Structure 1
Amino acid sequence: MRCNIVYKEDYPWDVRVEKLAKALSENGYDVTITCQNKKQNKQNEVIDNIFVSRLPRTHFLPPFMQRLVNFPVWFNPIWIYSIYKNSRNLKGGIIIVRDLPLVYSGVIVAKLVKAKLIFDMAECYPEMYASSQKFSKPSFLEGLIKNPKLAARYEKSSLRNVDQTLVMIEESKVRATKIGAPADRITIVSNTPFLNKFQGILHHHSGTRLKIVYVGFLTKLRGLDILIRAVSEFIKNGHSSDDIQVDIVGTGGEKNNLIELCEQLNVTSSVRIHGWLDQSDVDRLMQESNVGALTYRVCGHWNNTIPNKIFDYMLAGIPVLATPVIPIERIINETGCGIICIDQDPFDIALKLAQLRDSNVREDLGKKGYQAILEKYNWQKDIERLIKAVQ
Structure 2
Amino acid sequence: MNILLVYKEDYPWDVRVEKIALSLISRGHDVTIVARNRQCSKTTETVNGIEIVRLPALFKPDGLLNKLLNLPVWFNPFWIWTLRSALRGKPGALIIVRDLPLVKTALLVARGARAKIMLDMAEVYPYMYESGRQFSKGTNFESMIKSPALAARYEAKVLPKIDHTLVMIEESRDRLLQMGLSPQRVSIVSNTPPLDKFSGNTHQHQGRKLRLVYVGFLTKLRGLDLLIEAAYEYVKLGNEPSSLKIDIVGKGAEREHLIALVRDLKLEESVTIHGWLDHQRVDELMAQANVGALTYRVCPHWNHTIPNKIFDYMLAGLPVLATEVTPINRIINETKSGLVCRDLDIRDIAEKLQTLRCPELRSTLGNNGVNAVRAKYNWANDEQRLHAAVNSIAP
1:143 shift after superposition: 1.1
1:275-290 → structure 2 map (5 Å cutoff)? 275-290=275-290
1:356-367 → structure 2 map (5 Å cutoff)? 356-367=356-367
Tell me the matched-pair count: 391
Mapped contact 1:90–1:114 kept (Cα < 8 A): no
State the alpha-carbon separation in 2 of the partners of residues 172 and 210 from structure 1.
34
Which residue of 1 is the match for residue 244 of structure 2? 244
State the alpha-carbon separation in 1 of the partners of residues 349 and 314 from structure 2.
20
1:89 shift after superposition: 2.5
Which residue type is aligned with residue 354 of structure 1? Answer: Q
Mapped contact 1:337–1:368 kept (Cα < 8 A): yes
1:324-339 → structure 2 map (5 Å cutoff)? 324-339=324-339
Which residue of 1 is the match for residue 221 of structure 2? 221
State the alpha-carbon separation in 2 of the partners of residues 19 and 248 from structure 1.
25
Mapped contact 2:337–2:368 kept (Cα < 8 A): yes
State the alpha-carbon separation in 2 of the partners of residues 376 and 13 from structure 1.
26
1:250 shift after superposition: 0.3
C-alpha offsets along residues 51-91 of structure 1, whole Å, 9 cap, x if unaligned? 10000111369932211111110011110111111112332
Q: What SS is found at the alignment partner of 2:9?
A: coil
How big is the alpha-carbon RMSD for the aligned residues of Structure 1 and Structure 2?
1.1
Which residue of 2 is the match for residue 185 of structure 1? 185
1:283 shift after superposition: 1.1
State the alpha-carbon separation in 2 of the partners of residues 62 and 27 from structure 1.
36
Mapped contact 1:166–1:188 kept (Cα < 8 A): yes
Which residue of 1 is the match for residue 54 of structure 2? 54
C-alpha offsets along residues 104-162 of structure 1, whole Å, 9 cap, x if unaligned? 00111122100111001011110000001111233222111100000011111121110
State the alpha-carbon separation in 1 of the partners of residues 224 and 176 from structure 2.
29
1:207 shift after superposition: 0.3
1:50-129 → structure 2 map (5 Å cutoff)? 50-59=50-59, 63-129=63-129
C-alpha offsets along residues 30-58 of structure 1, whole Å, 9 cap, x if unaligned? 00000011000111001122110000111
Q: What SS is found at the alignment partner of 1:361?
A: helix
Which residue type is aligned with residue 324 of structure 1? Answer: E
Which residue of 1 is the match for residue 385 of structure 2? 385
**Consecutive unaligned residues in structure 1, runs of 5 or more:** none
Q: What SS is found at the alignment partner of 2:104?
A: helix
State the alpha-carbon separation in 1 of the partners of residues 180 and 256 from structure 2.
42
Mapped contact 1:136–1:220 kept (Cα < 8 A): yes
Mapped contact 1:156–1:180 kept (Cα < 8 A): no
Q: What SS is found at the alignment partner of 2:112?
A: helix
State the alpha-carbon separation in 1 of the partners of residues 190 and 129 from structure 2.
21
State the alpha-carbon separation in 2 of the partners of residues 140 and 37 from structure 1.
24
Which residue of 1 is the match for residue 315 of structure 2? 315
1:144-223 → structure 2 map (5 Å cutoff)? 144-223=144-223
1:284 shift after superposition: 1.3
Query: TM-score under structure 2 normalisation?
Result: 0.97
Q: What SS is found at the alignment partner of 2:298?
A: coil
State the alpha-carbon separation in 2 of the partners of residues 292 and 62 from structure 1.
33
Runs of 4+ with deviation above 4 angstroms: none
Mapped contact 1:96–1:118 kept (Cα < 8 A): yes
Mapped contact 1:87–1:95 kept (Cα < 8 A): no
Mapped contact 2:38–2:62 kept (Cα < 8 A): no
Mapped contact 2:313–2:320 kept (Cα < 8 A): yes
Query: TM-score under structure 1 normalisation?
Result: 0.98
Mapped contact 2:38–2:61 kept (Cα < 8 A): no
Q: Does 1:42 align with 2:42?
A: yes
Which residue of 2 is the match for residue 355 of structure 1? 355
Q: What SS is found at the alignment partner of 2:386?
A: helix
State the alpha-carbon separation in 1 of the partners of residues 191 and 61 from structure 2.
37
Which residue of 1 is the match for residue 373 of structure 2? 373
Mapped contact 2:40–2:61 kept (Cα < 8 A): no
